[in-house]
Amino acid sequence: MKPIAVVALGGNALLRRGDAPTFENQLANIKIAAVAIAEIAKEYRVAVVHGNGPQVGLLALQNLAYKEVAPYPLDVLGAESEGMIGYMLAQEIQNVMPDREVTTLLTRIEVDPNDKSMLDPTKFVGAVYNEEEAGVLAEANNWIMKRDGDFVRRVVPSPKPMNIIDKHAIDILLAAEEIVICCGGGGIPVCKTDHGYKGVEGVIDKDLSATLLAKQLNADKLLILTDADAVYLDWGTDDQRALRTATPAELSKYDFPAGSMGPKVEAVSDFASFGGKAYIGALEHGLEVLAERSGTCIAI
């Protein structure tokens, strides 16, 4: 049976920074992702995890427009985005590989409702704004805003994933060599109560969920595809330089932004320490990254 690769697609890779959040823009990037995933699926059993930061933020804005009804919570909006992006990915992957079965699975992931991120939000969602726009939105909607590169974006709680509740279904689909789109948007955050599971107001970081999935599947490779072509040191300065190979110990010496590259570095370091090989690279160069001709490779 083929080895397993978990491929994580960033929400910013599916809707580039500064792009208008239109269906057409997202579809164009998803078509690029579908080609990359199809190439990988020739050699691996593939589980695809995708981000949803721009998309869930757009849903939240649309949600606010209907003032007659209280806004839906973030876990429900996350499920909506998981279905939307999962449908688009499944359709485009199958258009590239009509002989392969592709399944999108809405995936619940258990989190701690008292996770420290509930008090210190760091997960970027939604569009990018200038300082003036961000200030108006923050005041009007009681949002927390933080700088994301040259822009400002909304941040929300991002509790760490603890357990993939629907993993058994993922196992069955991968055993049948289906391409599985799961843990979308990091998965739907839920917690245990005395009366079963209930949703948690937050958005799980998809890179941490992808790592948890890769570990629970005993995957061979973890590939994080984003809008950056590698892990960079001194990003945004005249001295910026790409790392092509690194160990978790080497990466631990540097500070990476908590809302962007930080979770990716944490995720790949965790998986590499677990014994696998992990990669970070650009969406359009997926197979090249996996072949270690592009991007950053992290291993012990």
Active site residues: 11-12, 123, 206, 264
Report the distance separating Cα 214 and Cα 220, nearest Å: 8
Instruction: Give the pairing of strands 45-50 and 179-181.
Output: parallel
Residue positions counted in the chain? 300
Nearest to 226 by CA among 81, 16, 4: 16
Report the distance separating Cα 180 and Cα 101, nearest Å: 9
Q: Count CB atoms within 10 A of the CB of residue 120.
A: 12
Report the distance separating Cα 200 and Cα 29, nearest Å: 30
Burial 201-211 (b: 16+ CB within 10 A, else e): ebbbbbbbbbb
